[in-house]
Amino acid sequence: MDTALEAGDRRLLEVRGLTKVFGSLKACDAVDLTIEKGEIHALLGENGAGKSTLVKMLFGTLEPAAGEIRWKGRPVTIGSPAEARALGIGMVFQHFSLFDALTAAENIVLSLDDNTPIMDVARRARELSKAYGLPLDPFAHVGDLSVGERQRIEIIRCLLQEPELIILDEPTSVLTPQEADKLFETLERLRAEGKSILYISHRLEEVKRLCDRATVLRHGKVVGHCDPREETAASLARMMVGNEVQAVVREAPPSDIARKPLLEICGLSREPASPFAIPLRDIWLTVHAGEVVGIAGVAGNGQGEFFEAVSGEALQTGPGVVSICGHEAGRLDITGRRRLGAAFVPEERLGHGAVPVMSLSENLLLSRYSTDAARLLGAGGVIRAGAVARAARRIAEHMDVRKSGEDPEAAALSGGNLQKFLIGRELDRDPAVMVVNQPTWGVDAGAAARIRQALIDLARQGSAVLVISQDLDELFEVSDAISVMHGGHLSAPMPIGEATFEKIGLLMGGADAGAPPGERVAEGV
């Protein structure tokens, strides 16, 4: 047989010159990509490189401006997700689309394009879950499930549609190391069965472990193809950003910094605010000047409720439950805690960290008007538009925020670039206490290194930094000690010199959380 024909027979999906333009920005610029049958193909790139735009065109949620998509050798037009699924393309998004009040089976039924009876769906879901080692109770309510279990629903839902190509977007960002290993086993089995997987991840070590080939995007263009198993994480990152990624340096805190307790949490308990919220139970933690304390845990174990309590979105019963820089803050709201010298970056960027339809400078003003009134407001509260614009520009330059205009709406930025701006917005204040939830979720290697180094540098200048993250690599890179949150309980801080991935992973999975509450405080870390 002709070798060209043999190669063609292996090609499941081909993208030729695929282009998408938003205004003056070419999000995808003549992208070429080939995915073969039975391979796991990595799609790598910085935030804003065009990865999300590309897969949205493949899944029918965006229409290309130019170029061609070929499926099994013939040109196709994919006008909707239903059309993509009909071809044999399935997608598991980074952000789950599940209803907490419904069961797993009910959520799956909602996504199917036919009228399959729910009992048949439940039976097929259970069979698939057993076949692929993805334990799932079809009749469990989503609100009662861990994030790892919710991801299984998304994967089973995708597999029920019998796809030949599965697109996975940051699939391990919410998993423990043990859960990630189980996912890899499932993906390797799917590959062995001849299915293809397009794998998007910023975790380069797992790309090296799992993927057969990789396509790298930069500024909307393909800049390289490679076998990731023959590369190092550093060389992959260099392909993504175009130069060396600066290594994160975590030196010991300077000896001249007085180890004052700047953030103190004493016996924090909180009843669930909704039927699916996690109650917090007797949490004690002290973060001193000069140090970074990390909070590990699988999503959905109380981290969001904890952040709300520390930031002042939820007030405490007693003023002394939370103290900031020596001042009782338990009954103060976010503005009151900011005035004490604290800064906060929530997990959700759009809608929580920033108003989507407001510009970057307007979002800056919303969070800084009370603490920076002297610089940003004039007599009678008149906004100093020039000062606000200069501050926004300074932050964007310092954090390398890439944007399509001088002062675009927050929603116009890629997720990673908006995250850089939000982190920079708080760092720009030189806060005494910094609390950040998922600082680099969905952020590329270069931007992640910049953010992590900035958090370490802030601590080494004498601030107290509390980092809540599901990324263990990140926590081991930046933290001086790590605590683990599971089921609303917080373990005693473990000094980084004693911590291992196995120890922390076991705590994340529900192993003994450690010392009694009274022993978790006094000495801090």
User: What pLDDT shows up at residue 76?
Assistant: 96
Other CB atoms closer than 10 Å to residue 192's CB: what's the count?
9
Burial environment of residue 238 by CB neighbours within 10 A (0 to 12, 13 to 18, 19 or more): middle
Domain 3-241, architecture per CATH: 3-Layer(aba) Sandwich (3.40)
At position 418, the amino acid (one-letter code) is L
User: What pLDDT shows up at residue 174?
Assistant: 65
Three-state DSSP at 32 gives strand
Q: Are strands 74-76 and 261-270 parallel, antiparallel or unpaired?
A: unpaired
The topology (CATH level 3) of 247-341+431-525 is: Rossmann fold (3.40.50)
The predicted-structure confidence for 410-431, as pLDDT tens digits, reads as follows 988 877 788 899 999 999 999 9
Residues of the chain with CATH 3.40.50.300: 3-241, 247-341+431-525
State the DSSP string of 146-186.
Answer: -HHHHHHHHHHHHHHT--SEEEEESTTTT--HHHHHHHHHH
12 token code pair? 């499941």
* 105-113 long-range contacts, CB within 8 A, separation 24+: 105/138, 105/139, 107/142, 107/153, 107/157, 108/138, 108/153, 108/156, 108/157, 108/160, 111/157, 112/160, 112/161, 113/82, 113/85, 113/86, 113/161
User: What pLDDT shows up at residue 369?
Assistant: 86
Q: What is the average per-residue pLDDT within 487-510?
A: 91
Rounded to 5 degrees, φ, ψ at 421 are -65, -45
**Length of the chain in terms of residues written:** 525
* Nearest C-alpha neighbor of 130 from the set 184, 186, 180, 178: 186
Residue 290 has pLDDT above 70, yes or no: yes
Radius of gyration (C-alpha) of the chain in whole angstroms: 24
User: What pLDDT shows up at residue 86?
Assistant: 92
Average pLDDT of every residue of the chain: 87
User: What pLDDT shows up at residue 196?
Assistant: 97
State the DSSP string of 247-312.
Answer: PP--PPPPTTS---EEEEEEEEEE--SSTTPPPEEEEEEEEETT-EEEEE--TTSSHHHHHHHHHT
The predicted-structure confidence for 427-477, as pLDDT tens digits, reads as follows 999 999 999 998 987 677 778 888 999 999 999 999 999 999 988 888 999
Residue 285 has pLDDT above 50, yes or no: yes
pLDDT band at 2 (very low <50, low <70, confident <90, very high): very low
Q: Which of 74-78, 267-271, 370-374, 519-523 is least confident? A: 519-523
CA distance 433 to 175: 28
167 token code pair? 């697109």
Residue 36 has pLDDT above 60, yes or no: yes
126 token code pair? 């259970």
User: What pLDDT shows up at residue 273?
Assistant: 83
CA distance 74 to 190: 24
For residue 349, what are the contacts with CB-CB under 8 A and spacing of at least 6?
410, 415, 418, 419, 422
